[in-house]
Every structure is written in C-alpha cells, then in structure tokens.
Amino acid sequence: MQGCVLVRYGEIALKSDQTRKWWNKILLDNMKECLDKNNIPYSSIEVLLGRFIVYTDSSLEASNALKNVFGIKSLSPALKMEANYEAIKEKALELSKNRGKKFRVSARRITKEFSMTSNDVNETLGAYIKDQLDLEVSLLKYDFEIGIEFLEGYAYLFTERIEAFGGLPLGVQGEAICLVSSGIDSPVAAWLMMKRGCKVDLLHFKITEEGYKKYLKIKERLQKFSYGHEIKDYIIDGVPYLANTKKKLSENKKEKWVCIFCKRRFLQEAERICQEKGYLAIITGENLGQVASQTLKNLSLLDSTVKLPVLRPLLAYDKQEIVDIARIINTYEISKEKEPKCPFTPLYPMTAGSMEELETIERMLWD
Ligand code: ATP
Ligand code: MG
C-alpha cells in the first residue's frame, strides 16, 4: 500500500492525443514546481488516463498546495493498493471507523479490468461496512464517503475530495499583459486569464504610493497561482502624463475626458510593451456598467486606441461574483484597504464620449 494523491484533470481529457501529451507535460511541470516551491517531498508523479498520481507521504499537504495549479479539477489524498476485493474491504472498514453514522461508498472504474462493476462494489462493500460497524448507508446526506477508483490494475481509496479550480494548464495559451491597479477587479481579471492557460505579466501605473504598495502585495498573491511562470511586471509613473493632461483638458473645459485619456494612455503603453516583448493581448479588469465610465460607448473608444485585442474577462460579471473570486484568491483584503482617491478623477467623468469629439480634443491638445 502506498500513500499518494489522486489528481483529476478536466478539459485536457477532451483534447486530441497530440495536444493532450503536450498539455499533460506542461501540467506535470507546473505540479512539480508547485510541490518544490511549497517544500513538499514526493518520490514521483505518474501520468495515467485522466489522472495523475503523485507519490508522497504528505498527501494532504500536497493536495492543498496542488489545488492552486490550473488544469486540475479535484484531488484526493489516497491509498494505492492491489485491486483485490478482500484487501479493499478490510482497508475500507478501517477507514470507516470513527467518522460518523451515515456513509456511502462511491466506486468508479476508470479502466475496466476489475471484475466487479462499480455498483457491485458500492452495494457489497456498503453492506459489509454497515453490518460490521452498525452504520447507516445514506446516498444523499452522509457524514463520510468511501471513494474508490479503479485504474490500470490498482485501486485508490480515499475519503476526501478537494475541489480545485479547473481551467487549463498555465502556459498552454501564450503570454498576455494585464493592466493591474490596486482595486478589486483587475487582479481577478488577471487570475481568470491565468486559469485559462495564459502566462500573465502585469503593468501597473503608479499614481499614488499607497496604491503602488497594495499592487505589490496583489502581485505576490497572484504569484501563488502562477506555477509555471514567474510573473514579470512593468511599473510606469502615471503622474507626469496625468497631471499634464488634466491641466490641458481643464484649460479647454474638457476635464470630463481625463479618465478616457488616462485609460487610452494605459493601453498605448501596454501595446508598446507587447510589441517589444511579444505579448499577444492586453487584459483589463473593466466591466460593463460597474462605474459610470464603463459604458459600451467608452469601451469602444478605448478599443480604437490600439490594434492588439483588449480582453475583458470580467465584462459580464456581477460585482458580487467578482468579489467572491477576489476573496477566494486572497486579493480582496488587500484591494479593499483604504487608499487616497485618484487625484486626477474629475467630478463628472464622461460616460458616452464620441469618437469625433475625442479626435477634436486630441488635435486641440497636441497640436
Ligand atoms: P479595478 O478594480 O481593477 O481598479 P475598476 O472597476 O475600478 O477596476 P477603473 O479604475 O476604471 O475600473 O479601471 C479600469 C481598468 O483599468 C482596471 O480594471 C485596470 O485593468 C486598469 N487600471 C486602472 N488603474 C490602473 C493602474 N493604476 N495601473 C494599471 N492599470 C490600471
Ligand atoms: Mg479602479
């Protein structure tokens, strides 16, 4: 018998052989990096059909760390043993002691060489444990579950299933740059794109010292999910441009436009970095209608600034949904820390700027 973690992965299983091999390799490397970075000893990792098996004596710690590796759907600290019913029966009985009254057995044959069907195992083993320990089988409301997966001649026994985030292995979808502030939204946007397999680097415009300090802490939290990629970041001092632009706009009674010019500047700088370093897209934390300036009209004005795709993974999320994710990824407590308001935000920002007016102002300002 051997201690291990049963790692279930999701969408990779749907891919062609060739893609699956490539993605599996990336996921495997990311898992190793995660275990190493968290100082969790393991002897090897086996790649099987739809499952990875991590051999380790620290299977609970390993599961909790690997939970943050994208591409993994769920994990169970498990015991690997010969697929022999008598042996399984005794081990399952031992695992069932002192865990509560109601239980169920959930067997699954991933490969089919074991002679009993999953249902046979559920019923026979369930009845045996019930009689031996005077327990009650309850399929819906149970205190504990005995899980068994049969795979390539072995049985894996477990009592816990830890949900992970799913998504795709980080690195299978290329590199993008995310505009990250110190607010709640943009760290979540970066995380969601990481979850879909992108290596994400960050671009922050420093406007206040407090905002910058929060940003640095946010970056650290995001790194805890970026196995397979050391996050690089780019910091630009936003004050000179904003101070100058706000002054010029105010002189021309166009102060309302400050935020649009500010965001356009962000995108232009992001695109310049993308072209220099080879990033494929720009990510922002913008959302439709969350603040007055995030209207469809304004977003289309912003898109016209650059040629590269601007990805907005939060576009259709409700605020609460974003906050829920921010809490899970531990950026929420940082983002919600008080900081001074952006000193350049006008009292009434433009909500529906037209392209014509934008072009007129641009000519007026920079001629
Ligand atoms: P966030 O919560 O990320 O601040 P928000 O909903 O408050 O987003 P805005 O403040 O209008 O929206 O900013 C829109 C987007 O512009 C942000 O989601 C982020 O991608 C980018 N952004 C805003 N401020 C900065 C900054 N200081 N540095 C880099 N990117 C920024
Ligand atoms: Mg903000």
One fold for 2-163 and 175-366:
no
Please report the pLDDT score of residue 353 as a whole number. 86
Angstrom distance (rounded) from CA 26 to CA 9: 13
**What pLDDT, in 10s, does the model give residues 126-179?**
999 999 999 999 999 999 999 999 999 999 999 999 999 999 999 999 999 999
Instruction: Return the ligand 1 atom nearest residue 287 CA.
Output: 6
Task: State residue 305's pLDDT score.
Answer: 93
CA-wise closest residue to 233 among 285, 277, 197: 277
Sign of CA dihedral 133, 139, 144, 150: positive
Written as six digits, the tokens of 60 are: 């609970």
Question: Does 349 contact ligand 1 (Cβ within 6 A)?
Answer: no
Residue 14 has pLDDT above 90, yes or no: no
Cα 344 to middle of ligand 2, angstroms = 13
Most distant pair of Cα atoms in the chain: their distance: 88
Write down the pLDDT at residue 312. 98
Compute the average pLDDT of residues 96-105.
98
Residue nearest to atom 17 of ligand 1 (CA): 285
Please spell the DSSP secondary structure of 243-256, one letter per residue.
HHHHHHHHHTT-GG
Give residue-wise pLDDT tens across range 306-341: 999 999 999 999 999 999 999 999 999 999 999 999
269 lines ligand 1 (CB under 6 A): no
pLDDT band at 291 (very low <50, low <70, confident <90, very high): confident
**Mean pLDDT across the chain:** 96
**Helix-helix angle 355-366:239-251, to 10 degrees:** 100
What pLDDT does 204 receive?
A: 98
Instruction: Tell me how far apart the alpha carbons of residues 326 and 332 are, in angstroms, rounded to a whole number.
Output: 5
Fold topology of 175-366: Rossmann fold (3.40.50)
> 263: annotated binding-site residue?
yes
Cβ atoms 147, 181 nearer than 8 A: no
pLDDT value at residue 352: 86
In this structure, the residue with its CA closest to atom 22 of ligand 1 is 181
The answer to whether the CB of 298 is under 6 A from ligand 1 is no
Q: Which residues contact 44 (CB under 8 A, 6 or more apart)?
A: 55
**Could you report how far apart the first and last alpha carbons of the chain are, in Å?**
77
Instruction: Specify the fold of 2-163.
Output: VC0802-like (3.30.2130)
Residue 54 has pLDDT above 90, yes or no: yes
**pLDDT at 63 > cutoff 80:** yes
Q: Give residue 62 CA to ligand 2 midpoint distance, Å.
A: 36
**Ligand 1 centroid from CA 250, angstroms:** 22
CA distance linking residue 181 with residue 202, whole number of Å: 9
Give the closest residue (by CA) to ligand 1 atom 14.
286
Residue 291 Cβ < 6 Å to ligand 1: yes
Check residue 206 and give its pLDDT. 98
Domain residue extents for the chain: 2-163, 175-366
**CA distances, 301 to each of 205, 243, 267, 325 (Å):** 20, 22, 11, 28
Evaluate: CB of 242 within 6 angstroms of ligand 1.
no
Interval between CA 24 and ligand 2 midpoint (Å): 37
Pocket flag, ligand 1, residue 295 (CB < 6 Å): no
The response to whether residue 229 sits with its C-beta less than 6 Å from ligand 1 reads no
Q: Mean pLDDT across the stretch 201-224?
A: 98
Split at pLDDT 50, 70, 90, the class of 78 is: very high
Query: Can you give the pLDDT at residue 235?
Result: 98
What is the per-residue burial (b if ≥16 Cβ within 10 Å, else e) of 137-168? eeeeebebbbbbbbbeebbbbbbebbebbbbb
